[in-house]
Amino acid sequence: MKRRRAVEALLAGLILFIGGLYVAMAHGNGSFGPSQDWPVYGGQPAQDHYSPLTQINRQNVKELVVAWKYDTGEQEGSESSPIVIGRVLYTNTPKPGVVALDAATGKLLWKFQAPMSGGSTTRGVSYWTDGLNSRIFAGYGHYLFAIDAKTGKSISSFGENGRIDLRKGLREPYERQSVGLTSPGIVYKDLIIVGGANPETHPAPPGDIRAYDVRTGALRWTFHTIPRPGEPGYNTWPKDAWKDAGAANNWAGMALDVQRGIVYVPTGSAVFDFYGGDRVGNDLYADTLLALDAGTGKLIWYFQGVHHDLWDRDFPAPPALLTVMRNGKPVDAIAQTTKSGYVFLLDRTNGKPLFPIKESPYPRSTVPGEVTSPTQPLPTMPAPFAHQGVTIDTLTNRTPEAHAWAVKQFSTFVSGGQFIPPSVDKLTVDMPGMDGGGEWGGPAVDPKTGVFYVNGNDTAWLVGLTKPPPAGSLGERTYQQQCATCHGLNWAGSPPAIPALCGIDGILTDAEIAGIIRQGRGRMPPFSSLRDDEVQAVVQYLTRYPQQQENRSASGEVSPSCDEGHVVPQEHKPPAQASGAAVPHRPTAAPAKTGSGVNDMPYETIGFRRFLDSDDYPATAPPWGTLNAIDMNTGKYLWQIPFGVYPELAAKGMGDTGSDNFGGPVVTAGGLVFIGATVFDDEMHAYDSSAGKLLWQAKLPFAGLATPATYMVDGKQYVVIAATGGQSSKEPAGGMYVAFALP
């Protein structure tokens, strides 16, 4: 009996060792050769989007053909990047679900359907194994689900009947909190570490970073991104702001240094995005790259990229881990892209800049009650990969008429480059706008050369503030407080990314509109904070406007114009002063009241839309999108090219305009950069990584607005992408995955 037990113990130990060895190899930490899988969102925990595979290379890439397709049958977009473990590919479906496919054929192995009707954008899943058991973790709405990787069945012993409600533990009542997983959590040992997407307006919960036990779902640690009394950073907010301030959340995903046990967490802005009179101070840890002990959540170091953000300048993507040369010695580094088009390069161990960072002065705000930071940190190298402002000389010359129109509009705007504070009743030009420079797709890095590849958007947006008009009905008040930030007081939105709401009653039913408000869709988060009567009131407000107009004198409501956002409001008004640096003295400005659970900010946004010309093309000169290669050892560009086209302009000879692009690149040891990303031309591309030359492209069934994955099965290398469209409200969408390989 003793001998039998000894043999069983030896076998169990051997299984665990093999399992651990498999995980180490899959995560790129083994010494037995490079991974042929794509086991983590972003390729590896380092988020370098790199593959050592060389079967597809510069010489033969032009021979690529479609190897397989998988159609979910859903007419919605997806931004999911698959993971591949062994010969199984795991990915999201546009509607709440996960599929496991044979990675060599695209054959469906199983499908998990989440027990819910909708959810906001989900960009991938996470994988864990101990060598015996393996699990897939997927976030939909405010739930994190645990799924058996072999069967696709929910694991009922995890959390509450197979899922964790991420609203719990943030703030009470938890049912009124809004949070969802835009990007998948990252797995470290027996933990899954998650952030979440929060609302852009009050009320919003704090953006706590949390780690859960992968087996039980028990909460293991929490890091408060809005510090509580006694925690470092508490003095950068008004007293007791932690009770009702919101966001400073990680929606973009994380990177992990497995050997050091450090998780790197980029955060977004605090709410409200464009007015901070209730949060005077630098607002740690909003717009910050956090280095946390992955096992305990303890803060190791931090770097704040925007002080007192008023421009929605979230860190938009996971950082990438790389090694660069400094004074002839290798230095382990971390590179963080930004919506400003800058890249911050820091020492991975202590957060110290590897290129000098200058605190640059900026004007004070003219908005009553606002207190802006006097400076913002800007790296001296590399140079930004997006333009930093708009002048008359950089306006569109697409046609003489478009130029004249843009000049006339521009003369009415406040301008001056990055970090000019919003004004009241006047539009300010933000360049690059809220959808770039860098976006959520993130960069790719060749670890052998230190070359960094990043795609960027290079178009201007308009933002401004106004005192909201007197609201008559509950629906109008709720719309102004929760919806107008993106869709505008005039319902015009900012097409194509943010749809106009005029005529929505002819497109969606009341129940469908209510479902989207509650569950979210695409880039729109769920609004769990709204009561049922508030949701129904917004639905009525959006769909019963003709009847409301007849009763306008009784309700006092103001008619939305749906003017596509081309009308500019009137003049602006007086000033206020700025505050401070890091953690020292508490801000003294009186905060606005937000603890009531409603958005009672004194200002709403006008603008928050693209600066488009009279034909709805960007009103600035191209390129409107770029693909860039930067040597991070020197900070110098190797190449920069326009990326993306408008097919109708290309047909007229304007083929190098660049365009909006979403989703990131993948770089391989075969000398290639694979990327889809372009919104309007539905193309998959392969570029020479050393020269930026386009070597191959293929038409996709819908735009490939996701980061690809590349892997090898049975000796054959594949490149797969979610080709589902859906970013543009004017473009079709469908749930298709397409894999390419050599014949």
Residue 43, pLDDT above cutoff 50: yes
Query: What residue segments make up the domains of the chain, in order of their start?
Result: 1-33, 465-609
Rounded CA separation 342/709 (Å): 25
Task: Name which of 31-40, 363-372, 451-460 the model is least confident about.
Answer: 31-40
Query: Would you place residue 734 in the very low, low, confident or very high pLDDT band (cuts 50, 70, 90)?
Result: confident
pTM of the model: 0.86
Q: Which of 281, 165, 106 is nearest to 721 (CA)?
A: 106
Burial of 455 (0-12, 13-18, 19+ CB in 10 A): buried
Q: Token pair 């159609």 is at which residue?
A: 71
Q: Which of 566, 581, 511 is nearest to 236 (CA)?
A: 581
Answer with the residue of higher pLDDT: 647 or 470: 647
**If you average pLDDT over residues 322-339, what whole number do you get?**
97
Q: What is the pLDDT of residues 698-721, one digit of tens each?
A: 999 999 999 999 999 999 999 999
**If you average pLDDT over residues 311-316, what whole number do you get?**
96
Q: What is the pLDDT of residues 464-503, one digit of tens each?
A: 999 887 767 887 777 777 777 677 767 777 665 677 777 6
Measured between alpha carbons, how far is residue 228 from residues 7, 181, 236, 246, 594 in Å? 52, 24, 11, 13, 17
pLDDT at position 435: 87
Q: What is the pLDDT of residues 665-684, one digit of tens each?
A: 999 999 999 999 999 999 99
**If you average pLDDT over residues 100-116, what whole number do you get?**
95
CATH architecture, domain defined by 465-609: Orthogonal Bundle (1.10)
Rounded CA separation 294/43 (Å): 19
Answer with the residue of higher pLDDT: 534 or 112: 112
Consecutive H or E run containing 518: helix 510-519
Burial of 385 (0-12, 13-18, 19+ CB in 10 A): buried
pLDDT at position 551: 39
Q: With the CA atoms of 170, 172, 173 and 179 taken in that order, what torsion angle do they form, in degrees rounded to the nearest 10?
A: -20
